[in-house]
Amino acid sequence: MTGQQLKNSILQMAVQGKLVPQDPNDEPASVLLERIRAEKEQLIKEGKIKKEKNPSVIFRGADNLPYEKVGKNEPVCIADEVPFDIPESWEWTRIGNVFQINPRNNLPDELETGFVPMALLSDGFCSRHSYEPKKWKDIKNGFTHFANNDIVIAKITPCFQNRKSAVVTGLPNGFGAGTTELHVLRDNTKELFMPYFLLICKTQAFIQNGVKNFSGTAGQQRIGKDFISKYLIPVPPVSEQERIVQRLHLLEPLLISYENAYDSIVNQQKNFPAQLKRSILQYAVQGKLVSQNPADEPAAILLEHIRAEKEKLIKSGKIKRDKHESFIFRRDNSYYEISGKEEVCIDDEIPFEIPDSWVWVRLGTALNQASTGPFGSMVHKEDYVESGIPIVNPANIIHGNISSEKIKKVSNATANRLSSYKLKAFDIIIGRRGEMGRSAVVESHQEGWLCGTGCFFVTPSKLLLPQYLVFLLNSPFVKAALTENSVGTTMNNLNHNILQSLLIPVPPINEQKKIMTNYQKSTAILDG
């Protein structure tokens, strides 16, 4: 149950007489309503209020059912209209029977009063408003009139559904006016406890019935005066009205605590799958997701093979030697790195321990090729066509995949001009702007597509499965490292050196496969 649902439920209990116990010593509501009718008659005689054309009186018949007499008509049973049972000391009545609806104030022009626009009327289950001080002459025409202790109710959508309503208090000299989009209830007899009747106006039943009776065009729908006047309300003894409101005030901090706790739980539940996936990712890159197999060839051996192959390619002149080639090794329980001719301890860079069969390497060491996409000046707006060769930008890299939705395309001629940026199957494309770690494996049917501006494309060595590298780039620790080392003021940006120097943990190739299989199974369960 949401916080709002709980509030709705408690409000409904309150107006059904189920929130506080009844006191047999309380004056019954029937006596209260009789007195109100007598006082209204006196006010009519004095010319202070107008006489109703067809006054309504609701009473209990000999069969204990509710009856209503309207004007001079015969009483009619309204049991079908009554929505629920109420205690014996309570009575049913219409709002128009006990309140003057939309009264007018007759005040001196120079009197200091308060003006309440809709923006200064709070929504929800509270009763709060503020005001702007105004001379009465400035607001008496064209606005809704009210006074202290009146109930104001927003009548227009969506303010009505949002429960913009309050008991008016604290106005200068006790009077004011406000937005025309209000209905006003005034107790001329001063017999009723207005905060209780405000509760009725905030019940879900009142709101739902009001919406059913909307009139007007879409976006400008309102509840009319007739709906308000004829709305059936339960009236408890005055003392019980006060006890109900007092109990709700006591419950208010508990309801707030409940709502906050509920919202927190909902947010946790909503974010749980993503958080769990991140946790699994982190466990995986720390060697805690699957058990190590001593029969697997250690990553260090595979790394030696890769270095030997690179050396042959260098000697044959097929590739150039990397001036900043890195070699990381462990000695005396510390990690050291040789880059060029310099050897340094890098313990402060190592974020966590890894299994003995794993190695730490710079990403550049694990790549056969790493290239940056074309400069923005190489691809212009006029190069894009309806049908052609897709060009992959960071926005097309979504959840570890290349999405073809809304992907831009270039002509064959432009693609040929940008041929050095063509993607091969099992290349990795990496976004270098915005969200760090955004990456995807190029699938077979995407071979020949182009790397766009704002991306890297790399070819992993045999040290890394392409899928594992994408997996690794999406892990919390790698994302954090890329974010920390990125450049740019308005948007995170990666350059070639940042990418190449990224420190990554590498398991044996068989363990990489097992990690991917286990992760896919786990996420499939989370995704339903």
The answer on pLDDT for 28 being more than 80 is: yes
- Going by C-beta distance under 8 Å and a sequence separation of 6 or more, which residues neighbour residue 206? 200, 231
Put simply, whether the predicted model's pTM sits higher than 0.75 gets the answer no
107-110: which pairs have CB atoms within 8 A and are 24 or more residues apart?
107/136, 107/140, 107/175, 108/136, 109/135, 109/136, 109/137, 109/140, 110/135, 110/136, 110/137
Task: Provide DSSP, 458-474.
Answer: EEE-TTS-HHHHHHHHT
List for the chain the helix, strand, coil content (%; round to 5): 40, 25, 40
pLDDT in tens, 441-486: 999 999 999 999 889 999 998 888 999 999 899 888 888 888 888 8
Angle (CA) 274 279 280, round 5° = 95
Mean pLDDT of 345-371: 91
The least confident of 164-168, 206-210, 409-413, 521-525 is 521-525
- SS3 state of residue 278: helix
E strands of 396-489, at which residues?
397-398, 401-402, 408-410, 428-431, 439-441, 450-451, 455-460
pLDDT at 526: 65
Round to whole Å and give the CA distance between 475 and 277: 9
Mean pLDDT of 114-122: 96
**What is the DSSP secondary structure assignment for residue 453, as one 8-state letter?**
T
Task: Count other C-beta atoms under 10 Å from residue 211's C-beta.
Answer: 13
The answer on pLDDT for 190 being more than 90 is: yes
The answer on pLDDT for 216 being more than 90 is: no
Mean pLDDT of 58-64: 89
- Which residue type, as a one-letter code, is found at position 261? A
pLDDT at 307: 85
Across 466-496, b (16+ Cβ under 10 Å) vs e yields bbbbbbbbbbebbbebbeebbeeeeebebee
Q: Which helix (H) or strand (E) holds 146?
A: strand 144-147
The answer on pLDDT for 3 being more than 90 is: no
Residue 358 pLDDT class (50, 70, 90 cuts): very high
Across 24-53, b (16+ Cβ under 10 Å) vs e yields eebebbbebbeebeeebeebeeeeebeeee
- SS3 state of residue 183: strand
Facing residues of 232 across strands? 94
Q: Which residue has the tokens 């104030």?
A: 105
Nearest to 116 by CA among 188, 171, 174: 171
pLDDT at 339: 85
- SS3 state of residue 476: helix
Round to whole Å and give the CA distance between 409 and 392: 9
**What is the DSSP secondary structure assignment for residue 329, as one 8-state letter?**
E
Mean pLDDT of 248-257: 89
As given in the structure block, the two tokens for residue 244 are: 């109900």
pLDDT in tens, 275-294: 777 788 888 888 888 889 99
The answer on pLDDT for 436 being more than 90 is: no
Cis peptide before 374 (omega within 30 of 0): no
Round to whole Å and give the CA distance between 119 and 126: 15
pLDDT at 528: 61
Round to whole Å and give the CA distance between 499 and 469: 13
Round to whole Å and give the CA distance between 66 and 266: 44
pLDDT at 88: 93
More reliable by pLDDT, 23 or 314 = 23
Which strands make up the sheet holding 326-331, listed edge to edge? 326-331, 334-339, 342-345
As given in the structure block, the two tokens for residue 467 are: 């899928």
8 A C-beta contact, residue 43 and residue 188? yes
Task: Provide DSSP, 341-353.
Answer: TEEEE-GGG--S-
Q: In this prediction, what percent of the chain has a pLDDT beyond 70?
A: 99
Q: Which domains does the chain have, with CATH numbers?
A: 3-262 (3.90.220.20), 299-317+357-526 (3.90.220.20)
The answer on pLDDT for 270 being more than 80 is: no
Mean pLDDT of 419-434: 93
